[in-house]
Amino acid sequence: MKLSELSAETGVSTASLKYYLRESLLAPGEPVTKTQSEYGPEHAERVRLIRALVESGGLSLAQVRRVLDALDSPAVPRHDLLGVAQEALTESTAFVGDPEWTALAAAFVADRGWRIQDGDVLIPQLGAQLKTLVASCDVGGQETLARWADAAESIAAADLDTLSDDDAQALRTAVVGTVLSDKVLQTLRRLAQQDCTARRLDPVD
């Protein structure tokens, strides 16, 4: 198919497709003349993935590039699959957090017995997020945080259970699934809040 046909099939403008090609987010097509190339189903699949990551996943193009690089990487050990997903989604610049709150976050994670890599950027991120949360509203302190962590452990276990025996498919599920399921989890939380409120405050006789 021509570039215009690829645009029509994927719903992405030709200008965006040309940008993806210039930035090597999309592989070149098969040249047929000096000015035209042919594109196949694999190009359409890649464009749909980019669109999903940007529109549904809310990623920047820099993050999309890291996700695609992860998907195009050589075989990844299975115990590193979700780590590759997290690395692709984490901003490459170092995160500078509040030392006191970073220490509190690290202590909380250690108390739960979670096996986290030394220097993981998510620890200072968690500390900064907790600092902002506590300064803005009362959410119940340690007990609430512990319940959130319990739920996170259950979700993480469900994530691992979705990984197939095929390494390439498992990597795609780990990376793309992590991005897009974040939005699903957010929506499910909103729906569950509505249901919980209705059950507690307006019970059906």
This model's pTM is above 0.75 = no
pLDDT of residue 39: 94
Model confidence pLDDT, tens digit, residues 1-56: 999 999 999 999 999 999 999 999 999 999 988 888 999 999 999 999 899 888 88
pLDDT of residue 14: 94
Q: Is 187 left (phi over 0), alpha (psi -120 to 50) or beta?
A: alpha
pLDDT of residue 78: 65
pLDDT of residue 53: 85
pLDDT of residue 138: 86
Model confidence pLDDT, tens digit, residues 69-126: 877 876 667 667 667 667 767 665 556 789 999 999 999 999 999 998 888 888 999 9
Model confidence pLDDT, tens digit, residues 127-149: 999 999 999 988 888 899 999 99
